[in-house]
Amino acid sequence: MKLHPALAPFLFSAAVAVATAATPAPKKKAADPTPELPPASATAVYEPVPVVVSAPPSAAPSDAVVLFDGKNLDAWITTKPDGGPAPWKLEGDAMVCVPKSGNIRTRQAFGDIQLHLEFRTPAVVSGEGQGRGNSGVFFMGIYELQILDSYNNPTYVNGQAGSIYKQYAPLVNASRPPGEWQSYDVVWVAPRFGPDGKVTRPARMTVFHNGVLVQHDAVLKGNTPNRGYPAYKAHADRLPLSLQDHNNTIAFRNIWVRELKLPAE
Ligand code: MG
């Protein structure tokens, strides 16, 4: 292609402009405003690499121990000395407490855990106060996180839903109406005992009720009796989790735990 001679100057200046843009003048390095600090690389840590856990929506994480997924009660037995099968019943995808059949516990024992559990108090309200929709999660079979229908149901506050029974009231009341599914997400740190049987580090509990923080790193004073005062009595590092039969037809579903390996303190 032949160019018209009149275009030549324009082409020449365009070429100069491109060349100028492609070779910017070298930048002056800005002075370090904090020369007393080490380079950023000095505080970057690359090992150990955290284990990969897949966490699909609405399902247990890949490293969870599933304790109830709607299929059967195989992970549970009675707390009665005979150790027989869990006397509660399967209804749809839920596990339902049979009043007066007794508490149930996991076959497996646990120490420090993250727990997810969903519960539903009866849609038809009967009773009041502690008699209405009562159950509980006993960590290590000893320390109770209260389950109660606390929707417009006054009772002593350290015994309402989300309380660490007779020790700590929940920070707020996040209860849903009777008959609706609710959730607890808990971080449980087991107590530690010395060789003399005395507690060296009390148990601690953090609880989200329906996604709302209701206990923040609460330091337990001991067990959770109805009468008397909390106290520690040395026990094994790992013990089964139990659920309370308090004579109400509470339903449960989607129960899983993750065993935690927390950093040493
Ligand atoms: Mg209870």
- pLDDT higher than threshold 60 for residue 18: no
CA distance 167 to 164: 5
Rounded to the nearest angstrom, the distance between the alpha carbon of 19 and the centre of ligand 1 is: 79
Confidence of residue 22 (pLDDT cuts 50, 70, 90): low
CA distance 55 to 64: 10
Radius of gyration of the chain (CA): 30
28-54 per-position pLDDT tens digit:
889 999 999 999 999 999 999 999 999
Rounded to the nearest angstrom, the distance between the alpha carbon of 145 and the centre of ligand 1 is: 8
* Of 21 and 42, more confident: 42
Rounded to the nearest angstrom, the distance between the alpha carbon of 164 and the centre of ligand 1 is: 10
Listed in sequence order, the residues at least 6 apart from 108 whose beta carbon sits closer than 8 Å to its beta carbon are 65, 75, 240
CA distance 75 to 67: 6
127-165 per-position pLDDT tens digit:
899 999 999 999 999 999 999 999 999 999 999 999 999
Looking at this protein, which amino acid is placed at residue 22? A
Rounded to the nearest angstrom, the distance between the alpha carbon of 106 and the centre of ligand 1 is: 17
Rounded to the nearest angstrom, the distance between the alpha carbon of 136 and the centre of ligand 1 is: 4
For the chain, report the end-to-end CA distance as a whole number of angstroms. Answer: 80
Rounded to the nearest angstrom, the distance between the alpha carbon of 123 and the centre of ligand 1 is: 18
Rounded to the nearest angstrom, the distance between the alpha carbon of 147 and the centre of ligand 1 is: 6
| Residue 241 tokens, joined | 């989790």
Rounded to the nearest angstrom, the distance between the alpha carbon of 262 and the centre of ligand 1 is: 28
List beta partners, residue 95.
90, 252
CA distance 241 to 67: 10
H helices of the chain, in order, are 8-22
**Mean pLDDT across the stretch 91-108?**
98
Q: What is the pLDDT of residue 6?
A: 52
Q: What is the pLDDT of residue 222?
A: 98
| Residue 145 tokens, joined | 């996180």
Residue where the block lists tokens 């502690």: 130
pTM of the predicted protein model: 0.87
167-215 per-position pLDDT tens digit:
999 999 999 999 999 999 999 999 999 999 999 999 999 999 999 999 9
Within 10 Å of residue 75's Cβ, how many Cβ atoms? 21
Rounded to the nearest angstrom, the distance between the alpha carbon of 244 and the centre of ligand 1 is: 6
Using DSSP bridges, classify how beta strands 94-96 and 239-243 pair: parallel, antiparallel or unpaired: unpaired
**Mean pLDDT across the stretch 112-118?**
98
In the chain, the domains with their CATH numbers are 65-259 (2.60.120.560)
* Of 20 and 63, more confident: 63
Beta strands in the chain (DSSP E): 65-68, 76-78, 89-91, 94-96, 104-110, 113-120, 135-139, 143-147, 182-189, 192-193, 199-201, 204-209, 212-219, 239-243, 251-259
> Hey, what's the torsion of the CAs at 146, 149, 152, 157, to 10 degrees?
-10
Rounded to the nearest angstrom, the distance between the alpha carbon of 121 and the centre of ligand 1 is: 12
Rounded to the nearest angstrom, the distance between the alpha carbon of 228 and the centre of ligand 1 is: 16
| Residue 115 tokens, joined | 């727990």
Rounded to the nearest angstrom, the distance between the alpha carbon of 255 and the centre of ligand 1 is: 18
* High-pLDDT (> 90) share of the chain, %: 86
Rounded to the nearest angstrom, the distance between the alpha carbon of 245 and the centre of ligand 1 is: 8
**Mean pLDDT across the stretch 99-128?**
97
Query: 87: cis peptide before it, omega within 30°?
Result: no
Rounded to the nearest angstrom, the distance between the alpha carbon of 35 and the centre of ligand 1 is: 60
56-88 per-position pLDDT tens digit:
998 999 999 999 999 999 999 999 999 999 999
Residues by chain with Cβ below 5 Å of ion ligand 1: 134, 136, 146, 244, 246
- pLDDT higher than threshold 80 for residue 3: no
Rounded to the nearest angstrom, the distance between the alpha carbon of 52 and the centre of ligand 1 is: 36
Rounded to the nearest angstrom, the distance between the alpha carbon of 108 and the centre of ligand 1 is: 22
